[in-house]
Every structure is written in structure tokens, then in C-alpha cells.
């Protein structure tokens, strides 16, 4: 009985294979795709089509992430500095110190200061006051802040340059009140010495 079943399966196998080959059409060559629902969809583009198709796919993905009916590239530029910008200043006691070799970290958090940072940037120490801009390229999460939502901005002069450590000798400051997304002229005074 088993022998007859195996022979029967072997006999129909070539027909199954031929049937599959008959219905196979590469996605790149298909003009349209008929969906099970009866709708007709345009064929999916393949990266094998070359750089032009890849650029088009990336442009469409960018347009979805940065909605702008006219120009996705303009939307990216508009949102590049959309979170917060301002300046860092030293406190009275800190103005007497030399911070050569230190690194500055500017960190944006939610209003309640809970959870991971929303965005962060690393700056070199130059002459104070130092201007900063935190944009979409500095995001540390996949979800951008809601327009006009409130944020807290913290800055730290870091002695060892490691963002994960907080050591004695570091100096930090934070906005006194929450600021709105898109706020400009935010001033942070670096006046708190870590002890």
C-alpha cells in the first residue's frame, strides 16, 4: 500500500511543478498585481531596478515620516531644528574655572523628567556662551515630541567625556521651567557642581 502511494505522488509531482512555473511571474515584470479581494495593485518595486528606484522608494518613505504636500526635503529642513534651541552660560563661580578638555551634553526630556531622554547632543567646549540646537537628527526615540508639548532641557559639562558617567567635577544646569517644543532663546546656566 505504501509503495502505491509513493508511486502515485511521484507520478503527479512533475505536473505540480509545471503548474507552479506556469503561474510564476517575476514582480519586476508584472504590470499589475491582482489581489485576492479583486483589487488591482501596482507591482512592488525591487532594489534590483537600480539607484533611481531606490531613491524614489526612500523619497516616499521620507514623505511619510515628514509629511509635506510640496517637498519632503523642505520638511526635513524645517524639522531639523524643530525641537529646541538656545544658549549655555556659566554660573558666577564656574566662570573662574578652565573647562578645557570637558565635553558638553545637552539632553531633552519630557516635562516630568521620567523615562529615557527624547533627544541629546554632544558639543565641544568653546567660548561661553555656547549656542545649541537640538533637532530631529538628535532624537533618541522613534517618536518625535508632540508640537507645543512641554520639555525640560538639561546640560552637563562632563569631565571624562563619557555620557553614561556622572562624576565629581561635572557641572550641570537645567531649565527652570518647562519649555515648549520649538522654543528658541532657551537659556541654561551651568552652575551646579556635582559633588
What is the per-residue pLDDT across 161-195, written as a single tens digit (0 to 9) for each? 888 888 888 999 999 999 999 999 999 999 999 88
Of 108-117, 119-128, 134-143, the range with the highest mean pLDDT is 119-128
Query: How far is residue 145's CA from residue 79's CA, in Å, rounded to a whole number?
Result: 11
Residue 100 pLDDT exceeds 60: yes
Residue spans of the domains in the chain: they are 19-77, 84-193
Count H helices, E strands: the chain?
Answer: 3, 11
CATH architecture of 84-193: Sandwich (2.60)
Instruction: List the one residue out of 162, 104, 146 whose CA is nearest residue 129.
Output: 104
What is the pTM for the complete model shown? 0.58
Amino acid at each position: 500500500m505504501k509503495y502505491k502511494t509513493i508511486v502515485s505522488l511521484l507520478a503527479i509531482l512533475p505536473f505540480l511543478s509545471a503548474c507552479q512555473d506556469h503561474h510564476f511571474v517575476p514582480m519586476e515584470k508584472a504590470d499589475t498585481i491582482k489581489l485576492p479581494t479583486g483589487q488591482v495593485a501596482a507591482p512592488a518595486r525591487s532594489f534590483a531596478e537600480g539607484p533611481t528606484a531606490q531613491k524614489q522608494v526612500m523619497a516616499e518613505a521620507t514623505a511619510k515620516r515628514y509629511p509635506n504636500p510640496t517637498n519632503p526635503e523642505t520638511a526635513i529642513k524645517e524639522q531639523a531644528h524643530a525641537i529646541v534651541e538656545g544658549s549655555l552660560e556659566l554660573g558666577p563661580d564656574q566662570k573662574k574655572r578652565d573647562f578645557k578638555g570637558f565635553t558638553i551634553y545637552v539632553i531633552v526630556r519630557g516635562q516630568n523628567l521620567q523615562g529615557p531622554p527624547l533627544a541629546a547632543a554632544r558639543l565641544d567646549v568653546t567660548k561661553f556662551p555656547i549656542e545649541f540646537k537640538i533637532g530631529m537628527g538628535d532624537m533618541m526615540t522613534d517618536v518625535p515630541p508632540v508640537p507645543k508639548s512641554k520639555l525640560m532641557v538639561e546640560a552637563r559639562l562632563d569631565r571624562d567625556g563619557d555620557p553614561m558617567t556622572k562624576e565629581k567635577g561635572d557641572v550641570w544646569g537645567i531649565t527652570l521651567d518647562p519649555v515648549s517644543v520649538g522654543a528658541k532663546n532657551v537659556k541654561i546656566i551651568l552652575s551646579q557642581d556635582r559633588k
